[in-house]
Amino acid sequence: MKPSKINCLKCDDSGVRLSILSRRRYAQAGFCDCVKTPCPTCKGSGFLLENDELQREIAITCPECEERERRIQLYNSARVPKRFVNSRLQESHRDENNENVFELLKLILRNLPDFLHGLDLQRPGDELFKGMVLMGPPGTGKTHLMTGFTFQCSVILGISCVFQGFSELLSELRQGYSDGKSDVEIIEPHLRTELLIIDDLGKGRNTDWELGILDTLISERYNRNQLIMATTNFTEKEETTLSERVLAGDKSDKDQYINDTIRKRVGERIYSRLQEMCYFENLSGPDRRTEEV
Ligand SMILES: [Zn+2]
Ligand SMILES: [Zn+2]
């Protein structure tokens, strides 16, 4: 495949440049230097003049400025952690280990605008789906792929996303409960977003209430035909799932390990709901964090 010519290497011609600010937790988007200022359409005024039906001159917001601004807002409200500021789902990051996952993410991206207009999402010759659970050991690049996917959705496609760590998601839901909100009100912000990505699904020990409200959220997104994506260190088999060391209850010096599957971690209800809507994909390969020197 011949790569299309890219004029601005800083932003891949998206017009949006990403950066990190020391006091912020999340990567920040802003205009790239290649964006012409003033805007050639509105000459930098932010407005265009049009005639209404009575031929009176009225000012409207410049659609070009507005759309660029909107995409910057979308990326910033997705809340991508700083260390993933360079994740874009670049073709150069495709390799033999992530090839399948890469293909699936690209297929979703290609079909996402149609999906949001009510069309089904389907892999050729396979069943309909509404999401993906990406499983694999720590360091295989799951979060890197998903934050790159978030960039593509928000900046390139103009789709609203929330990228959120599992613990942070649960703490936000709990906060809603403490504020005296109803279940529907608690999950409402996570239903408003077109794409919800949960990072580190199943992390920590969770209460029945937390898993219950999470089940409500996932079911409601399913009913509304909304996508859900997740990464997790837990897999479907005890042999491949994350092995966690637990403190031995007795006086023996031997370390004890538990090997919970994702099914055990999130409970039967959530697991079967996700099974219904998502592809469960495995990501293997070397730990990329130790490879980087
Ligand atoms: Zn640029
Ligand atoms: Zn403009």
Distance (Å) from CA 68 to ligand 2 centroid:
9
Q: Give residue-wise pLDDT tens across range 149-190.
A: 999 999 999 999 999 999 999 999 999 999 999 999 999 999
**137 preceded by cis ω (within 30°)?**
no
H helix and E strand count, the chain? 9, 11
Distance (Å) from CA 13 to ligand 1 centroid:
5
Nearest-ligand number for the alpha carbon of 11? 1
What pLDDT is attached to residue 27?
A: 96
Q: Give residue-wise pLDDT tens across range 227-275.
A: 999 999 999 999 899 998 887 666 666 778 889 999 999 999 999 999 9
Does one domain contain both 63 and 91? no
Distance (Å) from CA 161 to ligand 1 centroid:
22
Distance (Å) from CA 6 to ligand 1 centroid:
10
Distance (Å) from CA 119 to ligand 1 centroid:
33
Residue 293 has pLDDT above 50, yes or no: no
Distance (Å) from CA 61 to ligand 2 centroid:
8
> By residue range, what is the domain housing residue 195?
85-291
**How confident is the model over 92-96, as a mean pLDDT?**
91
What pLDDT is attached to residue 170?
A: 93
What pLDDT is attached to residue 252?
A: 67
Distance (Å) from CA 49 to ligand 2 centroid:
12
Residue 40 counted as domain residue: yes
Does one domain contain both 124 and 269? yes
Q: Express as a percent the part of the chain with pLDDT over 70.
A: 95
pTM of the model: 0.89
Nearest-ligand number for the alpha carbon of 61? 2
Tell which of 7, 36, 69 closes a domain: 69
Residue 237 counted as domain residue: yes
Does one domain contain both 33 and 178? no
Q: Give residue-wise pLDDT tens across range 139-148.
A: 999 999 999 9
Residue 2 has pLDDT above 60, yes or no: no
Residue 238 is part of a domain; what is its CATH number? Answer: 3.40.50.300
The tally of domains found in the chain comes to 2
What pLDDT is attached to residue 74?
A: 97
SS3 179: coil
Q: What is the mean pLDDT of the chain?
A: 90
Does one domain contain both 126 and 210? yes
Q: Burial of 202 by CB count in 10 Å (0-12 exposed, 13-18 middle, 19+ buried)?
A: buried
Distance CA 220, CA 216 (A): 6
Element spanning 61, H or E: strand 57-61
Nearest-ligand number for the alpha carbon of 65? 2
Distance (Å) from CA 42 to ligand 2 centroid:
4
Does one domain contain both 135 and 27? no
Does one domain contain both 65 and 185? no
SS3 171: helix
Nearest-ligand number for the alpha carbon of 48? 2
Q: Which two tokens stand for residue 210?
A: 């937390």
Residue 152 counted as domain residue: yes
Residue 214 counted as domain residue: yes
Distance (Å) from CA 159 to ligand 2 centroid:
21
What pLDDT is attached to residue 168?
A: 93
148 vs 293, more confident: 148
Does one domain contain both 114 and 31? no
Distance CA 277, CA 292 (A): 35
Does one domain contain both 24 and 113? no
Does one domain contain both 241 and 275? yes
Distance (Å) from CA 86 to ligand 1 centroid:
14
What pLDDT is attached to residue 250?
A: 65
What pLDDT is attached to residue 1?
A: 46
Q: Give residue-wise pLDDT tens across range 10-50.
A: 888 888 999 998 888 999 999 998 888 888 888 888 889 99
Residue 116 counted as domain residue: yes
* DSSP category for residue 45: S
Distance (Å) from CA 145 to ligand 2 centroid:
33
Distance CA 17, CA 222 (A): 33
Does one domain contain both 96 and 52? no
Res. 191 pLDDT band, cuts 50 70 90 = very high
Q: Which two tokens stand for residue 179?
A: 């504020």
Residue 5 counted as domain residue: no
* DSSP category for residue 128: B
Question: Which residues crowd ion ligand 1, with CB under 5 Å?
Answer: 8, 10-11, 32, 34
